[in-house]
Chain A
Amino acid sequence: DTAVSQTPKYLVTQMGNDKSIKCEQNLGHDTMYWYKQDSKKFLKIMFSYNNKELIINETVPNRFSPKSPDKAHLNLHINSLELGDSAVYFCASSQDPGADEQYFGPGTRLTVT
């Protein structure tokens, strides 16, 4: 069984569209995260949820919004997509934030045309 899964794996869309990326973990972890990896491979935190409460909200545009229907899911909604949003988005989970290793999903490559 896949520990952290994301759908879709690839997402190609046009500027101005709204899209969502889904993430699910079956590890029973309490914390989930979204990271963005840019074209230079740099990884940066976007959001995390601990016990369904947002504990990080980095300086990302408010067009991005995380939604967690339950502890095992953390979805990422993006409104009014822009060219600069093209990147690979990784979902991750861990038991304790900070102290424990994070397990990553396979990534979603978003291309905005």
Chain B
Amino acid sequence: AQKVTQAQTEISVVEKEDVTLDCVYETRDTTYYLFWYKQPPSGELVFLIRRNSFDEQNEISGRYSWNFQKSTSSFNFTITASQVVDSAVYFCALSEDFYGGSQGNLIFGKGTKLSVKP
């Protein structure tokens, strides 16, 4: 069965601190995809990143970085020098290979609410 666990329900930091959001996933498939989405207070869901199971290379995009480790089934997200505008709920999600028999939908974790205080 597929599952995504975000153990941190809420995190509060002060601006300019670094923060890491944890994500642990479960899947039996060898081909799968991992995602992070951001949901700011305005409510929309914003796509941040996608990784496939064959690409364990870490990625950096500005102040954002992602660490994918298959050995620990984790896909963690780090924000460096956090800003007030980073305050949001962040969701980690998993999907499996549709052409391998999966239904292809996103399975979301319960989200981590990040509050960045000035």
> Can you list, as one digit per residue, whether each of B34-65 has a CB less than 8 Å from chain A (1) or not (0)?
01010100011111001010000000000000
How big is chain B's contact interface, by range? 20 to 34
Contact B104 A98 (CB under 8 A): yes
Residues of A within 8 A of B (CB): 31, 33, 35, 40-45, 48, 50, 55-56, 88, 90, 92, 96-104, 106-107, 109
A7 to B: closest C-beta gap in Å: 15
A-contacting residues, B1-57, CB 8 Å: 33, 35, 37, 39, 43-47, 50, 52
Which listed residue (A97, A102, A104) contacts B98, Cβ 8 A? A97
Q: Which residues does chain B contribute within 8 Å of A107, judged by CB atoms? A: 43-45
Q: Are B44 and A106 closer than 8 Å at their CB atoms? A: yes
A contacts with B: majority SS: strand
Q: What's the count of A-B pairs with C-beta under 8 Å?
A: 74
Q: Do the beta carbons of A43 and B108 come within 8 Å of each other?
A: yes
A41-B89, A107-B44 given; A99·B52 CB < 8 A: yes
For residue A33, which residues in chain B have a CB less than 8 angstroms away from its CB? 105-106
Q: How far is the CA of A104 from the CA of B96 in the complex (A)?
A: 19
For the complex of A and B, list the 5 residue pairs with the smallest distance between their C-beta atoms, beginning with the closest: A97-B104, A98-B104, A98-B98, A45-B105, A104-B45
Q: Which residues of B contact A88 (CB under 8 A)?
A: 43
Contact A48 B108, CB 8 Å, known A43-B91, A96-B98? no
Q: Does B95 contact A (CB under 8 A)?
A: yes
Chain B residues within 8 Å of A90, by CB: 45
